[in-house]
Amino acid sequence: MNVAIVGASGAVGQELLKVLDEQNFPVDNLRLFGSPRSAGSEYEFRGKRVVVELLSKDSDFSGIDIAFTSAGAGTSKEYADVITRHGAVMIDNSSAFRMDADVPLVVPEVNGEDALDRPRNIIGNPNCTTIQMVVALKPIHDLSPIRRVHVATYQAASGAGAAAMQELINQYKELADGNAPTIEKFAYQLAFNLIPHVDVFTENGYTKEEMKMYNETRKIMHSDDIKVSATCVRVPVLRAHSEAIWLETERPLSTEEVLAAFEKAPGLIVKDNPAEKEYPMPLDITGKDPVYVGRLRKDLCDPNGLSFWVVGDQIKKGAALNAVQIALWLLE
């Protein structure tokens, strides 16, 4: 396969390089594209040096089979035609086209077949917190339709990019040295703090990140009946997003049947042994492929309610890995 990565120097672009290799993705030829800032940088892929080409309206994508785009919604919108006009399938990590009716939004464990219907040759890679959540929702929804979901997220600094991770590290150092912390990537100091605000606020009081969880979950799971209410929170964790999920199903489900469904579900690992203090935590899940689930329990106040805890590396399954799995799904 001839593969392109647009936004190769960013956190997701760099992870795409690693994941393509880890997943043994068949790459005959790899081309990297980037902004004027990253054009000319060199990266190694399977022992070969690849130079980042400047992305422009004259960039030639003929012969490219799959283009992974991770340079932001503006770039995706501006260059979608340049990228796809010679037949490349664009797997887009941005939010540019996710809710377009003629763009499938795909998590292979949930709705892989949607990738086959792509009139514009664009496939949306969903928002990270949504990907992680639907991997855990799908086995439950198959047992009994989910009516509504309330979720609180605990999102790592890495969701805001590599520079944001560095800012968090620097803030701890600056504070330890008795200096005021530098605040550029977040609305407030994140060290020793949390910020109940990810992305910008919309008119209904929810943030864009929270509305992505609402809208994208319904599209991926083919159900307008699922109501999703999210509170997205930035926490001083370097990498891997956690989510506390409460949901209500049409019929009451026992924890035994849900656990059995979780155990069989692709892409999901159960780590749930309270007696031994075993549950997923971001520090342990960083760099891992699957989504981890634990703390499963019946809701005390609602016989149809369940609560559980989900952690995933949002740069892996929440971004690069899911994109590569979509591409692998197309090759099957």
Residue among 128, 141, 150, 197 flagged as catalytic = 128
CB of 133 to ligand HSE, least distance (A): 12
128 is catalytic: yes
Residue with tokens 């150092």: 173
- Comparing CB distances to ligand HSE, the nearer of 242 and 249 is 242
18: nearest Cα among 328, 330, 324, 327: 324
CB of 303 to ligand HSE, least distance (A): 34
- Give me the residue whose beta carbon is nearest to ligand HSE: 159
301 is catalytic: no
CB of 320 to ligand HSE, least distance (A): 11
The residues of the shown chain that bind ligand HSE, judged by CB under 6 A, are 127-128, 155, 159-160, 198, 209, 314, 318
Question: Which strands form 241-249's sheet, in the order they lie side by side?
Answer: 227-234, 146-155, 241-249, 305-312, 291-298, 268-270
Task: Report yes or no: 265 and 139 within 8 Å, Cβ to Cβ.
Answer: yes
Quote the tokens at residue 111: 């709705």
CB of 155 to ligand HSE, least distance (A): 4
- Comparing CB distances to ligand HSE, the nearer of 215 and 249 is 215
CB of 267 to ligand HSE, least distance (A): 17
- Comparing CB distances to ligand HSE, the nearer of 159 and 290 is 159
- Comparing CB distances to ligand HSE, the nearer of 306 and 319 is 319
- Comparing CB distances to ligand HSE, the nearer of 88 and 220 is 220
Active site residues: 128, 241
